Amino acid sequence: MKPALTLKDVTVSIGGKKIIESVSLELHPGEVTAIIGPNGAGKSTLLSAASGHLRPTSGLVLLGEKPTANYKPAHAARIRAVMAQESGVAFSFTVREVVAMGRTPWVKEKANDDAAINEALDLTDIQHLAERDVTTLSGGERQRTALARVIAQATPVNEASVVLLDEPTSAMDVAHAEATLRLARDLAARGAAVGVVLHDLDAAASYADRLVLMDRGQIRAVGSVREVATAELLSQVYSTEVEVFEFGGRLRVSPLRASHGQIA
């Protein structure tokens, strides 16, 4: 199957420093690709380049088969929805108003906005917050609002859709974090190519079809979970002991931890 989003030999330099160098990557319809790696490895820069926020210094980003530069911004936004790391909103919009902003690229399509907005509110479990002032929400609630906006933007999901999520669960409790990752799987099941930056290696191993391991601005390894999530590779890239083991029929990834105070 043809990739929905392709990065070809992408380099991004800021102030003369190469943040990512010669990165090539394909996101395929129906797949969740998790991008992992230590702080400063270039994960967010990779996602920014893929999302059109950062123009690559060299290299090419293709959406479908065409370079992103060939799209009008609104057209690209109907295909590709992006959740950035920052989920703050400057003014006191209600949650529903913020989610409705996800429909901005669909204004001229006379699309079924209300249905898309309500579905997004339901999927992210924030229907009860719909009339709340978004600036009064907790960090996790704000993240769910941003996620709902992105889902509203991605509706209707099809085989051309690309959904990019930059650390979407960083402020969420465990229940909502799991629900968010299940949602990412569900988007992929409906045809979307999903790219998600994650710090939780175990979650990445559990929910992703493919892993991309970044290290110092380059892709260190890319492939299936079993190919990339090895104790040797992760321990080396993260400079700390990481365990990988089978448990309950799937691969578990965890940093090696001492059992402080648990012995008795």
Partner 1 sequence: MTRRGRAWVVGGVLVAALLILVVISSSIGQFHTNTADVIASLRRVLIEGSEPTANRVDATLWTIRFPRTILGILVGAALAVAGTVMQGLFANPLAEPSIIGVSSGASVGATIVIVFGISAVYPNALPAAAFAGAVVVTALVWMFARVGGKAVVLTLVLTGIAINAIAGAATSFLIFVGDTSSREQVIFWQMGTLSSAAWHEVVIVSIVFTAGFIGSMLILRQLDVLALGDKSAVASGVNVERLRVVAIVLVCLLTGVAVAFAGVIAFVGLIVPHALRLMVGPSHRFLVPLSALGGGLLLGIADIAARTIIPFADLPVGVFTALAGGPLFLVLLRRTLVKTGA
Positions that interact with partner 1 (CB under 8 A): 48, 51-53, 73-78, 80-82, 84, 86, 88-94, 97-98, 101-102, 104-105, 107, 135, 146, 149, 153
Q: How far is the CB of 207 from partner 1 (least distance, A)?
A: 22
Q: How far is the CB of 98 from partner 1 (least distance, A)?
A: 7
Contact predicate 27/36, CB 8 Å: no
Choice between 1 and 90, CB closer to partner 1: 90
Choice between 105 and 203, CB closer to partner 1: 105
- Cα–Cα dist 18/149, whole Å: 32
SS3 label, residue 124: coil
Q: How far is the CB of 35 from partner 1 (least distance, A)?
A: 17
Choice between 164 and 205, CB closer to partner 1: 164
**Could you tell me the two tokens for 48?**
């920014």
How far, in Å, are 10, 78, 196, 259 from residue 27 at the CA level? 14, 17, 11, 39
Contact predicate 34/204, CB 8 Å: yes
Q: How far is the CB of 142 from partner 1 (least distance, A)?
A: 11
- Cα–Cα dist 169/178, whole Å: 8
Amino acid at 104: T
Choice between 86 and 232, CB closer to partner 1: 86
